[in-house]
Amino acid sequence: MAMDASKAENNIKKWIRDIPDFPKKGIIFRDITPALLEPGVFKNICDMFYDRYAKREIDKIAGIESRGFFFASVLSFRLGIGFVPMRKPGKLPWETVKEEYSLEYGNASLEIHSDSIKKGERVLIIDDLLATGGTAAAASRLVERLGGIIEEMAFVVELTDLGGREKIAGKEVFSLICY
């Protein structure tokens, strides 16, 4: 069972490292890897997601490459439901669908297997960070192109001043901590 939300947020924030000027000048990167190195913090993050989704009707969990995989795969295992990897182009071996998007520091795209989500399946999308919302918006378009229904979009960290929620307007969004 996860600790109460305010304690959890403070505990997690202590383990997020700020890296200035990465991946380019002017950007402060919020690095979650110290939280992953601390077993109790990583467990608490996973427990908080589990507590939120354990009683929800979800058919699949889609994790966004690469840090979203950490949390999506653990939650998928704990809930006993399928895991859908959303990857950079050329990383998946089967037939894929692709969605392009803009990042705060360039352009990118995501792919998923064309048979990974069936029409009407309820999908939870997880990533480590919501910033400008480009990646999240592309992920939601991929799920919907395959006929999936987005249950919610979940993030460990949300950078509220970058307006990511606006890019995924109309979707339910849950973030563990906000900056």
Which residues are catalytic, by number? 67, 104
Specify the DSSP class assigned to residue 80. Answer: T
What region does 15 belong to: left with phi over 0, alpha with psi -120 to 50, or beta?
alpha
The position carrying tokens 């997020």 is: 16
DSSP 124-165: EEEEEEESSSHHHHHHHHHHHHTT-EEEEEEEEEE-GGGTHH
CA dihedral over 116, 117, 122, 125, signed as positive or negative? positive
